[in-house]
Amino acid sequence: MPEGPEIRRVADQLSRAVVNRVAERVTFGQAHLQHREEELSGRRVLSVQPRGKALLTRFEGHLFLYTHNQLYGRWYTCAPERPPRTNRTLRVSIETKSRWALLYSASDIDVLHEDELEEHPFLARLGPDLLDAQTTPARIRKRLLDPRFHGRNLGSLLLDQGFVAGIGNYLRSEILFFSGLTPELRPRDLEEEQRAELARTMRAVIRRSYRTGGVTELAEEARRAKAAGERRRHWRHAVFNRGGHPCRRCGAKVKKLQVASRQLYLCPGCQAG
């Protein structure tokens, strides 16, 4: 499933295509939403913003299109009358005079008034988005000490979108590696400086992934690994997807574990806990 950085890049793509343009026509592939087509058609698109792993496309009149790609959804942008060649099922089309934005395969879609946003079952439980400017390290540290979260192990906590939104499986492994922490540790087990470093790392790793198109490894290490002939699926990360390969820092073999029913990778040398 796409994680926070991938969803924000999709939001950027859609923004370039439709924001500040009038949606001449909006259509839905799901029958229960088709009565909303006329309501949105003819309105200007004001913004496209990620909320964790969901997107909110704002229209004039305090209306929002909520979409969650889940595992299979995918947005395309294209010139008018030139949709992509795909066997996917079209779920949403936002058609302006100059560009179209088309969502295929997703099923979690809704049209909401601004007053309904905080009552939506997915949006209501989201924590702060790690890619938002307002989500500072100080705010993250405060959540780490919140009684709802400070007693939970980091391996499961980092995947909880109610703690912070945007972290998925590859980011979890990379955040723990760059923090030097193991997944069974809890926020309350850490020294204050460790919590501060974890908060800084969470923000730094997700922002690096957003800037680089999914590369979480440090730039110089990634360049060396690429020059040495490593495949992209290996050189783009420090530990994720590198089970059995040597750590680039200490040489220990990266381990692959199952934590919270998901694959997690760690270096037993660098992550001493």
pTM beyond cutoff 0.85: yes
Domains and CATH numbers, the chain: 4-125 (3.20.190.10), 137-266 (1.10.8.50)
Which one, of 204, 187, 111, 189, lies nearest residue 144 by Cα?
A: 187
- Digits of tens for pLDDT over the chain (273 positions)? 679 999 999 999 999 999 999 999 999 999 999 999 999 999 999 999 999 889 999 999 999 999 999 889 999 999 999 999 999 999 999 999 999 999 999 999 999 999 999 999 999 999 999 999 999 999 999 999 999 999 999 999 999 999 999 999 999 999 999 999 999 999 999 999 999 999 999 999 999 999 999 999 999 999 999 999 999 999 999 999 999 999 999 999 999 999 998 999 999 999 975
Strands (E), 80-239: 90-95, 100-104, 108-113
Which one, of 62, 97, 67, lies nearest residue 81 by Cα?
A: 97
Residue 217 pairs with which residues in a beta bridge? none
Which one, of 126, 127, 166, 124, lies nearest residue 144 by Cα?
A: 127
Quick one: pLDDT at residue 1? 64
Distance of CA 34 to the CA centre of its chain: 28
- Known catalytic residues? 2-3, 53, 262
Quick one: pLDDT at residue 99? 98
